[in-house]
Amino acid sequence: MTRQFITILALCAALSLSAADAPYPCKVGDKVEGWNVADWYKATVEEVGSGNYNGYCLLKWDDYKIHTWINAENIRTRKNVSKTSDASPSSAPPATKYVCGVFLNLNGQFTYTQAVVLKKDGTYQPSVGAAGRYRYDAAIKRIDFEGGALKELFGRYEPDNKQIFRLTLKEDAAKSSQAQNWRSQVCSPKNRREPATLAVHHGWGAVVFSNQRGSAL
């Protein structure tokens, strides 16, 4: 009886783990969100992959004129909020190395720009240029850089979005979020990989093949 009970518990745990990691069951026409580069974007499922594209879904983005093959594990129902986020909204950005880059919407490529290390002593070290200090304002989730190569920039921290921050010009602070996002660099913790993308052609528009969340950097 005891052995049978333990077996049932193990089976339930295995099923729970697989359900948490289960790919989204794509159907053509589904309104979803897909993870690409460093954020979730609204999209519609245009095609369900087969053969070499098995496990992927072709998404048509709401705001961009490109199609992207996305791993079904990186697709979710719209407005689906995870049970747990990566960090408490009030917590400071992790003291670690961040890989920064820009998402070129015309061809769907994530282009590396630089790396930034935030240190526990309140200093930062960019991969290019002089080091400086930084301070974090938890009330507005903002990283202010003082001195060094990033003195003309600030970081908009998103603790519930894979702990990224958006490196933005201080002169853009008064502009809309959309304008800031267009001109900012996305910086992700080094322990997270950004998606490798490959532009191919499909029908009338460009198609981007995105393998997984993560960066090859």
Instruction: Give domain 2-83+196-210's CATH architecture.
Output: Roll (2.30)
Give the percent of the chain with pLDDT over 90. Answer: 41
Predicted confidence at residue 191, as pLDDT, reads: 57
Average predicted confidence (pLDDT) for the chain: 75
Residue range(s) in the chain whose domain bears CATH number 2.30.30.140 = 2-83+196-210
- Tens digit of each residue's pLDDT (9 = 90 or more) over 51-100: 998 999 999 888 777 788 899 988 999 875 444 444 555 589 999 999 99
| Measured CA distances, 123 to 53, 116, 131 (Å) | 45, 11, 7
